[in-house]
């Protein structure tokens, strides 16, 4: 109820169009302009090429969510953005960027392109880290084939898409939650490189955690 109410008031303020100070007007306009620019830019499509050779199209703003792609586009020093669209596809040279993975990544950035940029402010960061995944993200990342899931995470890490890596991380941590060592190893197919003695020693050190069970 509360949320709805406050939403109404902000809408009312925006409609009446007279925020209290000049600064606010400037900030508001600047934000609006930036928003419009991002929207325009996203209509320009660029091509990304997977390690396996598949080419996928993606909005410019969306593609720039990958810090790696953004840096690369900056390095081209192209002032006429529309020309970028006619360029050859950008190759992503990491074997994790398979056709399937890139297809999924493009799907993710296309859905998330208008997310607010990640705030480096630590408090916000902490809040964001504790946030549950959205319904859309949950469905997106719930992938039966684990190899594909790891491909996406590794590829997102390679392309430096912070938000997507985080979605993957949260998904995996949700799966690990409450499971025992053996169960986790089985699930994620991790090779146990401890000797039985080493493992017993760790168990002993961490005894307190099993006290409840």
Contacts with other proteins by CB under 8 A lie at 67-68, 71-72, 75, 87-96, 129, 145-147, 150-151, 153-154, 157-158, 160, 165, 168-170, 172-173, 176-181, 184-185, 188-194, 198-199, 202-203, 205-212
Please give the order of strands across the beta sheet that includes 55-59.
55-59, 45-49, 90-91
Q: Which is nearer to other proteins, 11 or 186 (CB)?
A: 186
Number of H helices, E strands in the chain: 13, 3
* Residue closer to other proteins (CB basis): 33 or 76: 76
Min separation Cβ 74 and other proteins, Å: 9
Q: Using CA of residue 17, residue 20, residue 22, residue 28, what is the dihedral sign?
A: negative
165 and 156 Cβ atoms separated by less than 8 Å: yes
| Distance of closest approach, residue 71 Cβ to other proteins, in angstroms | 5
Q: How far is the CB of 13 from other proteins (least distance, A)?
A: 25
- Using the minimum distance from each CB to other proteins, give the nearer residue, 44 or 70: 70
- φ/ψ of 183, rounded to 5, equals -60, -45
Q: Specify the residue, 139 or 206, whose C-beta has the smaller distance to other proteins.
A: 206
- Give Cα 203 distance to the centre of its chain: 35
Assign residue 132 a region (left: φ > 0; alpha: ψ between -120 and 50; beta: otherwise): beta
Q: Which is nearer to other proteins, 11 or 127 (CB)?
A: 127
**CA–CA distance from 12 to each of 1, 18, 25, 107 (Å)?**
17, 10, 15, 35
Q: How far is the CB of 209 from other proteins (least distance, A)?
A: 4
Q: Least distance (Å) from other proteins to the CB of residue 40?
A: 25
Q: Which residue has the tokens 């890490």?
A: 157
């Amino acid at each position: 109820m509360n949320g709805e109410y406050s939403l109404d008031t902000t809408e009312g303020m925006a409609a009446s169009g007279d925020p209290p100070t000049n600064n606010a007007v400037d900030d508001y306009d600047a934000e609006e302009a930036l928003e419009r620019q991002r929207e325009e830019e996203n209509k320009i499509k660029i091509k990304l090429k997977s390690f396996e050779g598949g080419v996928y199209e993606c909005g410019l703003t969306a593609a720039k969510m990958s810090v790696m792609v953004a840096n690369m586009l900056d390095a081209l020093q192209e002032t006429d953005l529309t020309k970028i669209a006619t360029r050859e596809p950008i190759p992503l040279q990491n074997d994790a960027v398979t056709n399937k993975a890139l297809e999924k990544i493009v799907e993710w950035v296309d859905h998330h392109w208008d997310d607010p940029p990640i705030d480096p402010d630590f408090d916000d960061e902490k809040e964001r880290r504790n946030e549950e995944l959205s319904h859309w993200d949950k469905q997106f990342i719930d992938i039966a084939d684990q190899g594909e899931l790891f491909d996406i995470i590794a590829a997102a890490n390679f392309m430096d898409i912070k938000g997507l890596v985080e979605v993957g991380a949260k998904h995996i941590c949700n799966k690990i939650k409450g499971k025992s060592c053996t169960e986790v190893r089985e699930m994620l197919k991790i090779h146990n490189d401890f000797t039985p003695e080493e493992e017993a020693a760790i168990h002993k050190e961490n005894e307190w955690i099993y006290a409840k069970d």
